[in-house]
């Protein structure tokens, strides 16, 4: 773990201090990491596995806020009220780092570097949600699903996995709920993209054939309109960031070893 921490600013002593307050915990598939209304005591960093978080309204409708994978931090929405504001459910058998929040804040005063990292993580959480807002507020079903695949692709790439071959850990219904669509619409978008030769999907296995075409789709550029002089857009288009460009130091720390 030292190799990961030392180059990014924490010394050996500081790394040990941080490590001392963290406790690992296993969460079985389909069980809750925490529930709405639970007392907030810890943040959770995903070490292994996947989670979904969702809110519930008074009518009982659910809205999935996001899917979390290794390195992602859960529970930041609970800081202000000291109560968890959503349910967090494991999609796989998973393992998390429990980070007692009071102790973490105490460490911040001694370790400004750690504090700054934490602020960046919270800021990224805000950016990620703004991305979701853009998807839900402005996009058609096909664009939404394209943006969803691109997001997953980048996040897996950041973690050293293939950006073009990965498994969906959630049901079609979960995807639809997250994207503000029905499960049927998701299914139709998959069928359409498969017919268009952009992706292949068998069950939960996804292979992306044409990531740049997906980017254009998500950006609202009609790829079937071949009358356009150039189908290759400036690199900024394919480089459009649906996600932060690299794993943060903290993400690497709490998924290390």
Partner DNA sequence: CGGTCGATTGAAAGCACTCAATCGGGGTGG
Partner DNA sequence: CCACCCCGATTGAGTGCTTTCAATCGACCG
Which residues of the chain form contacts with DNA (CB under 7 A)? Answer: 140-142, 171-173, 176, 180-188, 190-191, 201, 203-204
Eight-state DSSP code of residue 75: -
What residue 39 binds from DNA, a second copy, none (CB within 5 to 8 A, per partner kind)?
none
Residue 207 near residue 164, CB atoms below 8 Å: yes
132 makes contact with a second copy (CB under 8 A): yes
129 makes contact with a second copy (CB under 8 A): yes
**Closest CB to DNA among residues 98, 141:** 141
- The stretches of 22-111 forming alpha helices (DSSP H) are 101-110
**Closest CB to DNA among residues 175, 250:** 175
**Closest CB to a second copy among residues 53, 153:** 53
What residue 121 binds from a second copy, DNA, none (CB within 5 to 8 A, per partner kind)?
a second copy
Residue for token digits 């460009």?
A: 245
> How far apart (Å, rounded) are the C-alpha atoms in residues 218 and 201?
18
Structure tokens at 130: 């703004």
CA dist list (Å): 184 to 135, 141, 174, 188, 213: 18, 11, 11, 6, 23
Cα-to-chain-centroid distance, residue 165: 17
Q: Which residue of 23, 127, 191, 231 would you call a contact of a second copy, by CB under 8 A?
A: 127
> How far apart (Å, rounded) are the C-alpha atoms in residues 84 and 80?
10
Nearest to 251 by CA among 159, 169, 188: 159
> How far apart (Å, rounded) are the C-alpha atoms in residues 47 and 26?
10
CB of 25 to a second copy, least distance (A): 22
What residue 12 binds from a second copy, DNA, none (CB within 5 to 8 A, per partner kind)?
none
Count residues binding a second copy (CB under 8 A). Answer: 49
- Across-strand partners of 173? none
> How far apart (Å, rounded) are the C-alpha atoms in residues 190 and 24?
37
Q: Which residue of 28, 126, 191, 231 would you call a contact of a second copy, by CB under 8 A?
A: 126
The CA angle 250-251-255, to the nearest 5 degrees, is: 115
Q: Which residue of 3, 80, 226, 227 would you call a contact of a second copy, by CB under 8 A?
A: 80
Q: Which residue of 18, 86, 158, 208 would you call a contact of a second copy, by CB under 8 A?
A: 86
42 makes contact with a second copy (CB under 8 A): no
**Closest CB to a second copy among residues 30, 129:** 129
Give the interface with a second copy as residue ranges (CB under 8 A): 55, 57-59, 61, 63, 65, 76-81, 85-86, 105, 108-109, 112, 115-116, 119-127, 129-130, 132-134, 136-138, 177-180, 219-221, 236-237, 240, 244
């Amino acid at each position: 773990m030292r190799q990961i921490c030392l180059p990014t600013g924490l010394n050996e002593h500081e790394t040990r201090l941080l490590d001392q307050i963290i406790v690992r915990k296993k969460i079985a598939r389909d069980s809750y990491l925490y529930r709405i209304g639970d007392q907030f005591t810890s943040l959770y960093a995903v070490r292994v596995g996947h989670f979904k978080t969702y809110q519930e309204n008074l009518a009982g409708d659910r809205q999935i806020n996001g899917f979390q994978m290794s390195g992602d931090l859960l529970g930041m929405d609970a800081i202000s009220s000291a109560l968890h504001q959503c349910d967090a459910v494991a999609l796989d058998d998973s393992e998390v780092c429990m980070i007692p929040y009071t102790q973490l804040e105490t460490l911040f005063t001694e370790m400004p570097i750690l504090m700054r990292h934490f602020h960046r993580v919270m800021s990224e959480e805000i950016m990620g949600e703004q991305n979701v807002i853009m998807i839900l507020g402005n996009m058609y079903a096909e664009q939404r699903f394209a943006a969803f695949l691109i997001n997953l692709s980048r996040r897996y790439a950041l973690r050293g996995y293939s950006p073009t071959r990965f498994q969906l850990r959630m049901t079609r219904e979960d995807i639809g709920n997250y994207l503000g669509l029905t499960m049927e619409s998701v299914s139709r978008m998959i069928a359409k993209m498969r017919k268009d030769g952009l992706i292949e999907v068998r069950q939960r296995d996804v292979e992306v054939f044409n990531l740049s075409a997906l980017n254009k789709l998500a950006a609202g550029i009609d790829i079937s309109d071949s009358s356009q002089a150039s189908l290759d857009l400036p690199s900024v288009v394919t480089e459009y960031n649906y996600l932060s460009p690299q794993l943060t130091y903290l993400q690497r720390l709490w998924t290390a070893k």
